[in-house]
Amino acid sequence: LPDAYQAFQQGASRQLARRHSNLGEDLLVEALERQMDEGAADAGAHRHVLAALAPWVATLHLPHIAAAGRAERLLRALYFVTFFRGDAFPREIETLWRHIGRSPRNVVPALRFLESKGLE
């Protein structure tokens, strides 16, 4: 049953991300920030949520978000989830970053953000 539930969750997430991509940025920031709450859920729930976020990350258009001045918050949330949850969920975190890098238009804003974090 858990595998069927996860497959359904992934399918629903893909469909929703495709149909409502305009909600992706806010949804991602909220979900990523909630990943930082230690007492919110068990590890299995964190894993499922991170996996379900992948289709939403795939629909991001970082240059438009950056031009509106909102990319910093989204990338910061992903950065801190990577820092705090990366050891526990490396595959899921890698998938999120891979989806950002899959689109060439997203690479430059993401690298600029990571460069600024490295200089802090």
Rounded to whole angstroms, the Cα distance separating 109 from 118 reads 14
Rounded to whole angstroms, the Cα distance separating 31 from 53 reads 8
Rounded to whole angstroms, the Cα distance separating 6 from 90 reads 18
pLDDT digits (tens, 9 = 90+) for 23-48: 999 999 999 998 887 766 677 788 88
Checking if the pLDDT of 114 tops 90, the result is yes
- What pTM did the predictor assign? 0.86
> Contact, 54 vs 12, CB < 8 A?
no
Rounded to whole angstroms, the Cα distance separating 25 from 62 reads 10
The backbone region for 42, taken as left when phi is positive above 0, alpha when psi lies in -120 to 50, beta otherwise, is beta
